[in-house]
Amino acid sequence: MIKLDLKRDTPIYEQIVEQVKFHVVKGNIKPGMAIPSVRKLALELNITPGTVAKAYQELERQGIVETIRGKGVYIAGESDRKPDLAKVEAAKKSLEPGLLELKVMGFSEDEVTEVIRELYGKLC
């Protein structure tokens, strides 16, 4: 389910967070479904259990997963996902350079919106 790219600058735990989110958004894993336990995923990916635990803590903090002690780790319901203002700001910032590029090339607001629609459509 999760593939690591050790050559990327993104820390490993963030790559796990990213990919779990990606699968959740894509609907590959649905609310209520179990994901591998901390230790199982560590074995599978050949990384320390601490790294996986850190990723799962972050996912839990954002309300993407929930841990039920003694049972396992599950994808949380959509209503549990907490909007995080800092994350929204960071996401906006990461869009800026691309938008700037498009504007320089003469894209209108409508054309830019169309690009965003197309990208969004790929996630659903």
Partner 1 sequence: MIKVDNISKSYYDKVAIDGISLTVVPGQIQGLVGDNGAGKTTLIKCMAGIYKPEKGRIIFSGVGRDTTNEKSMIVDKGSNVATLTRADEKVTNVSAGKHAVEQEGIFNNPSLKEKIGYVSDNNEYIGRYTIKKMLKLYETYFPSFDKDKFEKLNQEFKLELSGKIDSLSKGQKMRLGFMLEVAKKPEYLLLDEPTSGLDPVAKKTFLERLVEEVEKENIGVLISSHNLSDLEKLCDTITILDGGKVRSESGLDELKESLTKLQVVFENGLDEKLLSREAVLSFSKVGNVYTLIIEDYDSKKEKWLKDLGAGYMEELDMSLEELYIALETRKGER
Nearer to partner 1, 77 or 98 (CB): 77
Tell me the CA distances in angstroms from 84 to 46, 61, 87, one per residue in order. Answer: 31, 10, 5
Pairwise CA distance, residues 73 & 76, whole Å? 9
Taking the complex as a whole, the smallest distance from the CB of residue 65 to partner 1 amounts, in Å, to 9
Nearer to partner 1, 19 or 57 (CB): 57
Partners of residue 68 on adjacent β-strands: 72
Taking the complex as a whole, the smallest distance from the CB of residue 80 to partner 1 amounts, in Å, to 8
Nearer to partner 1, 50 or 98 (CB): 50
In 3-state terms, what secondary structure has residue 7? coil
Q: Are 106 and 88 in contact (CB under 8 A)?
A: no
Taking the complex as a whole, the smallest distance from the CB of residue 31 to partner 1 amounts, in Å, to 13
Nearer to partner 1, 70 or 121 (CB): 70
Pairwise CA distance, residues 65 & 96, whole Å? 29
Taking the complex as a whole, the smallest distance from the CB of residue 105 to partner 1 amounts, in Å, to 33
What does the binding site for partner 1 look like in residue numbers (CB under 8 A)?
6, 37-40, 42-43, 45-51, 53, 56-57, 60, 66-70
